[in-house]
Structure 1
Amino acid sequence: MRNNFLTLVIMLLSLAASSCTSDSEAGEQPENNKNTTYKNPVIQASLPDPTIIKAADGYFYLYATEDIHNTPILRSNDLLNWKVLGTAFTDETRPNWEPNGGIWAPDINYINGKYVLYYSLSVWGGGNTCGIGIATATNPAGPFTDNGKLFRSNEIGVHNSIDPFYIEDGGKKYLFWGSFFGIYSVELADDGLSMKPATTKKVAGTAFEASYIHKKGNYYYLFASVGSCCEGANSSYKTVVGRSENLFGPYVNKAGKPMMENAYEVLIQGNNQFVGTGHNSEIISDEAGNDWMLYHSYIRSTPDKGRVLVMDQVHWVNGWPEITGQSPSFENSVPVF
């Protein structure tokens, strides 16, 4: 799902050119100069399919589909001001088990003392041979060492096997994935680097991709994206959700209709400024207990910028997540850090 390489090169030049300066000069906001509001997009450059982690050093690290070659890594202390650190791979270390494949939709995690980056490797239209691989590092800024593929679509029997998401539950480790041919899960070994045999399960229908599961209270919430992701101002992408009392479902909407039959609740959809709102990150809580979600979207008036980085607060109403107005905010109060 690569889009607009030049846009990210421009961002890299404008943000990372200050790599020899202090963090505040490079875009990470100093403690004594915080605004009370921010405006979307957070970054006006293409960062599709964001994934985020708070590392042991207290910083947030963000990774995205490679509009800049070899997968960008950015760092922030407030979710708003981001510094480009570099890329997860170099041309010499990038995965090559799918020739000419792009690195899409990474998912960052901390497992057993290592930063583990699950990634999709695919060419556009290569749903039969694409798959999911694993890379590891001791530092969230890299360098990452590629461990190779976990599986290909034609090996695991799930067409278009991309968009990985890792979760731990009940002392076990799982990977969820899928793109418009069902959302599936598989149990992983304790190190997270291999699969346990005969553990594949289908958990949602064929309308969805970009799955993410968040546990809150008694429920698991399955976030996903539906529609077309990558058609500029004509994109129909939107973020949806269902919930279940079990990790593997059944996930249902508010009316009790199952996501296995492609039912859902809309969380985020376009408005007069943004369109193609989808592939959300992990939910991050600030120091006041507010929940925040990053995702990508096109700007309607300038879709050539690519899928820019947008952020909104997630409110919990009667046991369901909501974004105010079901669409991206133009201006919002800043997270509390």
Structure 2
Amino acid sequence: MGLGHAKALGPHVTEHVGRYYMYYSALPDGTDTYCLAVATADAPAGPFTDIGQPLQCGPGFLNIDPMVFDDPATGKCLLYWGSGFGPLLVRELAPDRISFAPGSEARELVHPIPGDDPENYQSLLEGSWVVLREGWYYLFYSGNNCCGDAAHYGVMVARSRQATGPFETLAQATGEGHSIILETNRHWRAPGHNSIVTDAAGQDWLAYHAIDPQQPTFDAIDDAQGYSRRVMLLDRIEYHNGWPRLASPEAPSRSPQPAPVTE
């Protein structure tokens, strides 16, 4: 089953043995069913060709925001995904990296927490990103609502000794009221859906998007529809007592910050 014409979002590109794999979410025209899809290319800039059938589809937007992680401890290639008011999930991919491993099953990692508490960003979860640091697998994820006038979004974190869990959230481990490490301030609204990049000095950086309150929508697209203008931002991560924190006390930062080391 091909996807035909589809709305595509949330890509993650990885390289393996000289081949590039783009994992993304697709919403086929005329449906309300999101699919996890894969396309491949010989170069990171493409052109990418879809493999012709989705990994899986499901109701609503459960199947969004794929992220692939090669676990050095087990040699397994793992796919993380999830949203739609369901849990974040992980499942092993087959050696071909375009299908699930035979006999594998999805495992639930972090569950949403319903509620209207303004400090609760976990009623909807998405945007998984996993890194391994000092024996800990850190699962960064985002919630609640990325966009629009009611945007309420931030970055949270959980950790585990295994890539497939069980994961313990920052709140569960520390007794804090929430697991948030990045949220709205007076300069930026609704920061989230991060990735982690590591510079030439081994320093981790959180790359993410946020809304500029001074220009929150794209006039050039259609201001009446309120498309949120999400700016790309970068802040340095430090690890304290086994947990990642943003180095800048003003994060999301607006003032000049030390730059990543490039060589």
Query: How many angstroms apart in 2 are the aligned matches of 1:299 and 1:193?
Result: 37
Match of 2:70 in 1: 168
> 1:257 deviation in Å?
5.3
User: Measured at CA, do residues 236 and 185 of structure 1 come closer, stay the same or move farther in structure 2, by a change above 3 Å?
Assistant: same
- Partners of 2:82 and 2:4 in 1: CA distance: 18
| 1:266–1:326 contact (8 Å) kept in structure 2 | no
Unaligned runs of 5+ in 1: 1-94
Shift of residue 272 of structure 1? 0.5
Structure 2 partner of 1:276: 190
Deviates more, 1:271-280 or 1:205-214: 205-214
Using the TM superposition, give the Cα deviation of residue 244 of structure 1 relative to its aligned residue in structure 2, in angstroms: 1.1
Q: Aligned-pair distance for 1:153?
A: 1.5
Relative distance call for 1:175 and 1:271 in structure 2 (3 A) is same
Q: Give CA deviations for 1:138-168 in whole Å, capped at 9, x if unaligned.
A: 11111111113111115xxx96211101011
- Normalised by the length of structure 2, the TM-score is 0.81
Q: What pairs with 1:95-134 in structure 2 (closer than 5 Å)?
A: 97=3, 99=5, 101-122=6-27, 129-134=33-38
The equivalent of 2:164 in structure 1 is 248
Q: Does 1:294 align with 2:207?
A: yes
For the residues of structure 2 that align with 1:333 and 1:124, how far apart are their CA atoms? 44
Q: Is the 8 A contact 2:65 2:81 kept in 1?
A: yes
Q: When the two structures are aligned, how many residues end up with a matched partner?
A: 232
Instruction: Indicate how the Cα distance of structure 1 residues 254 and 181 shifts in structure 2: closer, same or farther if over 3 A, else same.
Output: closer
3-state SS of the aligned residue for 1:211? strand
Question: What is the Cα deviation at residue 255 of structure 1?
Answer: 5.0
SS for the counterpart of 1:333 is: coil
Distance 1:264 1:188, change over 3 A: farther
Unaligned runs of at least 5 residues, structure 2: 113-121, 219-228
AA of the residue aligned to 2:212: I
For residues 75-114 of structure 1, what are the structure 2 equivalents within 5 Å?
97=3, 99=5, 101-114=6-19
Deviation of 1:98 after TM superposition, in Å, equals: 5.8
1:329 match: 253
* Amino acid of the structure 2 residue aligned with 1:245: R
Contact persistence 1:274–1:297 (CA under 8 A):
yes
Question: For residues 125 and 224 of structure 1, what CA distance do their matches in structure 2 show?
Answer: 29
| 1:289 shift after superposition | 2.2
Structure-2 separation of matches of 1:270 and 1:213: 23
Identity within the alignment, %: 34
Question: Any residues of structure 2 matched to 1:1-337 within 5 Å, and which?
Answer: 97=3, 99=5, 101-122=6-27, 129-148=33-52, 149-153=54-58, 160-169=62-71, 170-179=74-83, 180-199=85-104, 200-206=106-112, 207=122, 208-232=125-149, 234-254=150-170, 256=172, 265-281=179-195, 283-305=196-218, 306-323=229-246, 324-325=248-249, 327-330=251-254, 331-337=256-262
State whether residues 286 and 335 of structure 1, in contact with CA within 8 Å, keep that contact through their aligned partners in structure 2: yes
Q: State how far apart, in whole Å, the 2-side matches of 1:194 and 1:301 are.
A: 44
Question: How far is 1:327 from its partner?
Answer: 2.7
Deviations 1:70-127 (A, max 9, x none): xxxxxxxxxxxxxxxxxxxxxxxxx96164x321100110123211000101279965
Q: Distance in 2 between matches of 1:186 and 1:215?
A: 17
Separation in 1 of the partners of 2:2 and 2:210?
A: 29
Q: 1:254 to 1:163 in 2, by over 3 A?
A: closer
Asked if 2 retains the 8 angstrom alpha-carbon contact of 1:177 and 1:209, the reply is yes
Deviation at 1:239, TM superposition (A): 0.6
1:151 is matched by which residue type in structure 2? Q
The verdict on how the C-alpha distance between 1:123 and 1:250 changes in structure 2, with shifts beyond 3 A counting, is same
Q: TM-score, normalised to structure 1's length?
A: 0.64
Q: Distance in 2 between matches of 1:214 and 1:163?
A: 16
Contact 2:210 2:231 in 1 (8 A): yes
